[in-house]
Amino acid sequence: MESDDYQQALARIENEVDAGSTDLSSLGFWKLVARAKRDPRLSDGVAETIGRIDRKAFESRVGPLFPVWLGNLVLLVGTVVLLIAIPIGLRVAEGTLGGEPRAWLGGLLVLGAGAGLAVTVHAPAHWFVGRWSGIRFTRYFLDGPFRIQPGVKTDYASYLRASPSARAAMHAAGALASKVAPFVTFAWAYTVHWRRDWDLLPAWSLWGLLALGALQIVTDVVWSTKRSDWKKVRRELRVARELEGG
């Protein structure tokens, strides 16, 4: 399509969005975006228009919204607190913080830290890898099936200007960070547990970390490959292959 053709189609869609329609799929927006991704001649003007429409529709249907800096700050503070909770939990289990050793409380702290880290590192990993590739972000919001997982919204104009492989890496970063967090926590806790002759933490806390990591992997295979991050990774890698093939 020529730039004028894109702009004409996008103008129609933007009028519909301004009138209150936010179902971009029914307006043919995403089919147009899929075509634009495969167009090596895509102009900055078209990318900016696509980004503007996407942002209007998103902000009309999703809330509450938060500034990117605030979302990153809250999640960074949460990550630091949870990382500190791991050695605290280990010391509580040892009894070196005063009082008697409390293995159950130490195990609970370690398990809770691993579960929490799976949440707090997800969106910042998207943000970090995306910014490294030139992708900008507009807002934090509450995502996921229950609207409790922090999500960060891309600026679609900068997203389109990034390479398909960069877009795939951005989507993969958050998913991988969430999966790694419980296993890193397990490795840290198990190393200390092993050095104490396997007599520090309750077994349920260590098995819980492994189960959490395994559950996330299963969830990715069953759900994310069809509706979330890994679906987007596969989509962008497919675009990359098509562009490389000419």
Cα within 13 Å of Cα(134), Cβ side: 10
**Count of the separate structural domains present in the chain:** 2
Q: Please report which residue ranges of the chain form alpha helices under DSSP H.
A: 3-18, 29-37, 44-61, 68-94, 103-120, 122-132, 156-161, 164-195, 203-219, 225-227, 229-244
Question: Per-residue pLDDT for 33 more than 80?
Answer: yes
| Mean pLDDT, the chain, integer | 93
Asked if 46 and 140 sit in the same domain, the reply is no
Asked if 156 and 92 sit in the same domain, the reply is yes
Question: Per-residue pLDDT for 144 more than 80?
Answer: no
Question: Per-residue pLDDT for 19 more than 60?
Answer: yes
For residue 133, give both structure tokens.
């590739």
Packing angle, helices 29-37 and 3-18, rounded to 10: 150
Phi-psi region of 33 (alpha: psi -120 to 50; beta: other; left: phi over 0): alpha
**Segment 138-157 mean pLDDT:** 89
For residue 164, give both structure tokens.
């398909």
The contacts of residue 203 (CB under 8 Å, 6+ apart) are none
Asked if 202 and 92 sit in the same domain, the reply is yes
Asked if 5 and 108 sit in the same domain, the reply is no
**Segment 25-34 mean pLDDT:** 94
The residue among 9, 42, 61 that closes a domain is 61
Q: Is the peptide bond before 164 cis (omega within 30 degrees of 0)?
A: no
| pLDDT band (50, 70, 90) for residue 123 | very high
**pLDDT per position as a tens digit, 160-205:** 999 999 999 999 999 999 999 999 999 999 999 999 999 999 999 9
Residue-level pLDDT at 145:
67
Asked if 18 and 92 sit in the same domain, the reply is no
Q: Percent of the chain scored above 70 by pLDDT?
A: 98
Asked if 145 and 30 sit in the same domain, the reply is no
Q: Which domain holds residue 37?
A: 1-61
Residue-level pLDDT at 246:
57
Residue-level pLDDT at 1:
66
Asked if 56 and 101 sit in the same domain, the reply is no
Asked if 103 and 220 sit in the same domain, the reply is yes
The contacts of residue 222 (CB under 8 Å, 6+ apart) are none
Asked if 11 and 48 sit in the same domain, the reply is yes
Cα within 13 Å of Cα(196), Cβ side: 17
**Segment 24-33 mean pLDDT:** 94
Asked if 68 and 50 sit in the same domain, the reply is no
